[in-house]
Amino acid sequence: MTEKILALHSGRDEVKTGDIVDVEIDVRVARDFGGPNVVKNIQDNNLGIDDPSKTFFTFDTNPTGSDQKYATNQQICRVFAREHGIKVYDINAGIGTHLIIEEGLVYPGTTAISTDSHANILGAVGAFGQGMGDRDIAVAWSTGKVWFKVPATVKLNLTGQFPEGIFAKDIVLNLLSEFGANTLLGYSIEMAGEAIETLSLDDRITISSMATEMGAINIIFPPGDEIIGYCKERSGKEPLVTGPDEDAVYDQVINIDVSKFIIMVSKPGKPHDTVDIIKTGKTKIDSAFIGSCTNGRMEDMRTAAGVLEGRKVAPGVVLKIVPSTNSVWDQCLEEGIIRIFKKSGALVSNAGCAGCAAGQVGQNGPGEITVSTGNRNFPGKQGKGEVYLASPAVVAASAVAGYITTPDKIPAEPAVFEPSEKLERIKKAKKETKLSFDKPTIMEGRVWVIDFDNIDTDMIFHNKYLTVTDFDEMGQYTFDNLGGYEDFAGKAEKGDIVITGKNFGSGSSRQQAVDCFKSLGVQLIIAKSFGAIYERNAINAAFPILVYKTLDELDIKDGDKIHVNFETGLIKNLENEKSIKTDPFSDVQIEIYQNGGLF
């Protein structure tokens, strides 16, 4: 299907895996997250707008404008939209990828791109959607096209019947359990088999949304009669592609028996770290969230309401609910679902993305445990706490129970945290946050003795390389301009330690003179003294440096292995067991080092 869509939009009869084609884009979207950069790219490069009728802004990441930067970004986009006749789906509309389905802008066989990394959600209706960066979107706005490399396709053939109590989120978590985050990296996943015929549009949206978490280009469904009818009603147009050719050739065909699927959750930190819900051991929670582009649909709202009706959210637990679009919100209002949510004690916000990208609702604090219907639970993604991913049914049931559970196992009385239990967890989380990098304070490594004074920043990282801003590229230029050590970068090994003389790093303020060592894998520089700016740059970058008075007692030479303790100042030559004490890291230096840098 993906090959057929890309061929159709690149003026070719057919394309094959690996072909690079210029693809005509039917729908070109920028959000409040990334939109201002799209505007800047267009303005800085004096570009025009190819077709305003195919160009859109969607304000979904932080529709409340509760953050001053988001409010500013939205206004930048509004002004640009007025100047160029671009439609804005403003703060009252909802999630952009959902809106372009609801509004009939995409339908089977069309193409769309967005600054939303989950634009591949459009595979739910048999369309080709991709999230792209600001430059790509700006070029598409200006030319109507982007280049794309045709991916290989894997066909997932789902057979059997889904067990009772299995929701779409469970389906995709079971797939993540099977394939992880990179087994299908870079593939287009085409869904097939008898089992997919039972999946509604809302189900398909949930599954397609998490193609990103599987590392896939997209998860695309052949649209059945129901999906085609839905799209025709909204777009007024016939589908362009309704399925693969009968003789389609796939990179792999994988059969999966869905009758073996179980209710699953993703453990904090990794969406693909999925486990049987039983293994969570009734983990107590502080908060719960229902929404996001993955589970903010009408069926999700009804499922949650079915669990919450006549029940209350557990004491000490906060439940936040965010419908995906304004039409879903309105339907919840008409069906009395908003009333159920409010009576249960939930907070209901206006339509939008909510917790993702520091959005308007759904963040958590240090030590807080959240169960969420979101698509990601990377550290810091939804705050400083821990996030489990689960279906709306599980999230609603857990909010009532006070711990992670299923609707059929909600207790008569909810679990309640003892105050001391929460305080202890918060204290632990704050401690872990402060020292979250857990960087070693004892190092051992091979020594380079460079017995020169006044090695300046031009000798370390010559000014002809100052245009190099990619950290990974910097290491190769280290000491490129230091006589006798021009080949240092080629001979140095990860974990090496440099010992040198007075005033190391004198000269300019260039940060690359510090970062080149980090890039190369050098773990420590010991000098008799450092240039003042260099010393600050190194400390602020969490790059270890130590100052010595004399090393004569160590009898140290090139290639010796030494042991260094930053906290005590101990330096030991492991070749002869001789040691000295020098000044240890200061309190400020150790704090910045353990924090991973000044920021």
Dump pLDDT digits (tens) for 383-418: 788 999 999 999 999 999 999 999 999 999 998 877
**Equal fold, 2-260 vs 442-595:** no
Which tokens sit at 211?
């193609």
CATH architecture of 264-432: 2-Layer Sandwich (3.30)
Within 10 Å of residue 64's Cβ, how many Cβ atoms? 15
Within 10 Å of residue 437's Cβ, how many Cβ atoms? 12
Residues 342-399: tens digit of each pLDDT: 999 999 999 998 877 667 787 888 889 999 999 988 777 777 889 999 999 999 999 9
HSE of 11 in the Cβ direction (CA atoms, 13 Å)?
4
Query: 388, exposed or middle or buried, with CB in 10 Å at 0-12, 13-18, 19+?
Result: buried
Q: Tell me: pLDDT of 102 over 80.
A: yes
Whole-number percent of the chain with pLDDT over 70: 97
Give me the helix-helix angle, 134-143 and 35-44, nearest 10°.
60
As a whole number, mean pLDDT of residues 207-211 equals: 95
Residues 421-474: tens digit of each pLDDT: 777 777 776 665 444 446 889 999 999 999 999 898 889 998 778 777 788 999
| Numbers of helices and strands, H then E, in the chain | 20, 25
148 beta partners: 21
Q: Tell me: pLDDT of 583 over 70.
A: yes
CATH class for domain 2-260? Answer: alpha beta
Query: What whole-number distance in Å separates Cα of residue 182 and Cα of residue 56?
Result: 32
As a whole number, mean pLDDT of residues 165-178 equals: 96
Residues 6+ apart with CB under 8 A from 22: 10, 145, 146, 147
Query: What whole-number distance in Å separates Cα of residue 44 and Cα of residue 42?
Result: 6
The two beta strands, 128-131 and 145-149, are unpaired
Residue located via tokens 């079915």: 306
Residue located via tokens 């000798």: 459
Beta carbons of 123 and 208 less than 8 angstroms apart? yes
- CATH 3.40.50.2000 corresponds to the domain 442-595: no
Q: Which residue has the higher pLDDT, 439 or 230?
A: 230
Residues 6+ apart with CB under 8 A from 285: 317, 369, 370, 371, 388, 398, 399, 402, 403, 404
The 8-class DSSP code of residue 276 comes to E
Residue located via tokens 């003892």: 418
Residues 11-37: tens digit of each pLDDT: 999 999 999 899 999 999 999 878 998
Rg from Cα positions in the chain: 28
What's residue 435's pLDDT?
42
Residues 6+ apart with CB under 8 A from 488: 448, 478, 479, 482
**One-letter amino acid of 333:** L
Q: Tell me: pLDDT of 247 over 90.
A: yes
Which tokens sit at 350?
């206006």
The domain segmentation of the chain, as residue ranges, is 2-260, 264-432, 442-595
Whether the model clears a pTM of 0.85, i.e. scores above it, the answer is no
Query: What whole-number distance in Å separates Cα of residue 169 and Cα of residue 289?
Result: 14
Q: Which residue has the higher pLDDT, 106 or 437?
A: 106
What's residue 361's pLDDT?
81
